[in-house]
A and B are shown apart, each in its own frame.
Chain A
Amino acid sequence: MSRIGGTGGGVSDAIITEGLRRSFGSIKAVDRVDLAAPAGTVLGLLGPNGAGKTTIVRILTTLLDPDGGSARVAGYDVVRDAEALRSVIGLAGQFAAVDDNLTGRENLDLVGRLYHLGRDEARRRADEMLERFELTDAANRLVKTYSGGMRRRLDLGASLVGKPQVLFLDEPTTGLDPRSRFGLWDVIRELVSDGTTLLLTTQYLEEADRLADHIAVIDGGRVIAEGTSDQLKSRVGGDLLALRVADRARVAEAAAAIADLGSGAPQVVAESGEVSLPVAEGASILAEVVRRLDAAGLEISDLALGRPTLDDVFLALTGHVAEASGEDDEGPAPPPRGRRPARSGA
């Protein structure tokens, strides 16, 4: 990707912030945040409500001036070059910012014109987006008749009309049902495959896991951890493998058989015949666990792989559970938390 500027960090960083700060009264919404996203990658900001994610997005999209520090997006300073920056970014905020009284096509056409694409190009891009987000059939319907998922897709389409180099999606799937969420994930994955740099905020570890190349965990306005999702998970302690042997008397034997597969020592609950084992690469060792127990002639009555949740990440990193703590990030309540075991019977 050819870009000008980007002298702050690596030449290829599409997003770079250094010591970014922003307060609202006495609340430090963003507190010395350093971020970097190489061009063409997906940076996920993961954190609970009120962590400061939205404030960071608002600063990077020129909606809000920072109190201090610096931020460059696509080589442009977010304060000094704000006007030029706006022509190379796209934003889809927490609320689907589409006009109820316009049709889907008119909404996209309006945004295209405000990007100064010209009448024909704006129309063409609108059609392209309708096609891409499977809204062609609803193109001439008023948006007020759209479902929540359709509105989000249209909003995403609007953020892409200007062919942005850098795209900002602020909690794109909050409030959507699981089916719409998975659908949106597919769309997002597809659009970053063509070279767009994406900054995505989310409350869901799973979402960051699926979409982001690099994740920054935000809490209380600060980056408390960052890395790939694998790196983060290993800091949390990875997955937790839990199994129960049919014959409770042989539980120690089972623990011994799989002990070397774990990232820590196995825990045994003799009364229930349960063994739990922290593992770094849960899914990949499941088969090996089953093989070994089978070879030892141990019958398994239950086997589950618990994936770390946002709660686990926060508990491990901060010592407190993820909780809404501020006022700038608002949104519907997150889905029920807790381990979602990937069950495999035996």
Chain B
Amino acid sequence: MSTVADRTLPRRPLRWTFADAAAVTRRNLYRYIRVPTLLLFSTIQPVMFVLLFTYVFGGAIQVPGVDNYIDYLMAGILAQTVIFGSTQTGVGLAEDMSRGMVDRFRSLPMARSAVLAGRTLSDTVRNLFVVCLMLVVGTLVGFRFHAGVVPALGAVGLALAFGLAFSWISALIGLSVRDVESAQAAGFVWVFPLVFASSAFVPVASMPGWLQAFADVNPVTITVNALRALTLGGPTTRPVLEALAWILGILLVFVPLAVNRYRRAAG
């Protein structure tokens, strides 16, 4: 009956999708400039972990074939830092939902994926900042890259990509639980076993057999192993490819789930 249905609607240029995501990323990053304490507190915890593991647990943890525990630890700290950082993605989205920002965005002619892409990207930028800070703190307590500049940059890139993948999981959680406190709590519960039942801080071989079964396939273990190869030296191709496969797999599953959830985010 309608002339509207027959009318060809203007196709949304792809560059708008990128521009939308960039605008949202910028908006999210302003938050850290305007509320510097947010950034401060998101750095204190990882710094404490570096110091805690170096000076408190470090003396008691013997890793076969490693002289300097901080060299072993740093790959784990990088993974832990980006994962803990990614839990803030869900918190930020829950906050935007509870304040009506998501409704405003959803009523605008912007790309459906832009709010989520902008949020996960800005959290990745924040992760970059925290990762750099960790490397500085690590260097101060004795950490050194042993494999050269390119693998070192590769380690930073891989850690950030891993954090980005986890941000999308966190996004789905934040959109599902909707309120800030729940997002805060739900965001942490599931990352703890992943981070600690992994090779992040201790060799998997030191764990009981049943836990090894889990730790061996844990994406955190896989990624930490790749980061370790990139920071300490040794064969890198296989562990890095395995880590990238996990990252890609997580993105392939959780990006569509989160975008779909956002689309139907009726409040």
Interface on A for B, CB 8 Å cutoff?
4-5, 7-8, 58, 61-64, 72, 75-77, 80-81, 83-84, 86-87, 89-91, 93-97, 99, 101-102, 106, 110-111, 113-116, 142, 158, 162
Contacts and interface: CB of A to CB of B under 8 A. Distances in A.
B100 A110 contact: no
Interface stretch (B41-49, B81-89, B105-113, B143-151): B105-113
B103 A114 contact: no
Interface of B: 1-5, 7, 9-10, 12, 16, 19-20, 23, 27, 30-31, 34-35, 99-101, 103-110, 114, 266-267
A267 B267 CA distance: 50
A97 B100 contact: yes
Nearest to A75: B4
Contacts of A97: 99-101, 103-104
A71 to B, nearest CB: 13
Given A61-B107, A63-B103, A110-B27, A7 B19 contact: no
A142 B34 contact: yes
A154 to B, nearest CB: 12
Contact of A99 (B5, B101, B110): B101
Given A7-B3, A87-B109, A101-B34, 9 more contacts: A75-B4, A81-B4, A81-B9, A86-B108, A91-B107, A97-B99, A97-B100, A101-B31, A158-B104
A80 B108 CA distance: 16
Given A4-B4, A64-B266, A113-B19, A102 B107 contact: no
12 contacts: A4-B3, A63-B106, A77-B2, A84-B109, A91-B107, A97-B104, A106-B30, A110-B27, A111-B104, A114-B110, A115-B109, A158-B104
Nearest to A84: B9
B19 A116 contact: yes
B100 A116 contact: no
A168 B267 CA distance: 17
Contacts of B266: 58, 63-64
A61 B102 CA distance: 13
Contact of B3 (A5, A62, A91, A162): A5
B79 to A, nearest CB: 29
A interface, over-half SS = loop
Contact of B2 (A5, A84, A158): A5
A264 to B, nearest CB: 46
Contacts of B23: 110, 113-114
Nearest to B6: A5
A62 B2 CA distance: 19
B7 A116 contact: no
A106 B266 CA distance: 26
Contacts of B100: 93-97
A80 B4 CA distance: 10
A91 B107 CA distance: 7
Nearest to A85: B109
B34 A111 contact: no
Nearest to B5: A80
B118 to A, nearest CB: 10
A140 to B, nearest CB: 12
Given A5-B4, A97-B101, A113-B19, A62 B30 contact: no
B78 to A, nearest CB: 28
Top 3 A-B residue pairs of the complex, sorted by shortest distance between their CB atoms: A97-B100, A87-B109, A95-B100
A317 to B, nearest CB: 30
Nearest to A119: B19
Contacts of B267: 63
A96 B103 CA distance: 11
B30 A86 contact: no
Contacts of B19: 113, 116
Contacts of A89: 107
A83 B9 contact: yes
Contacts of B16: 116
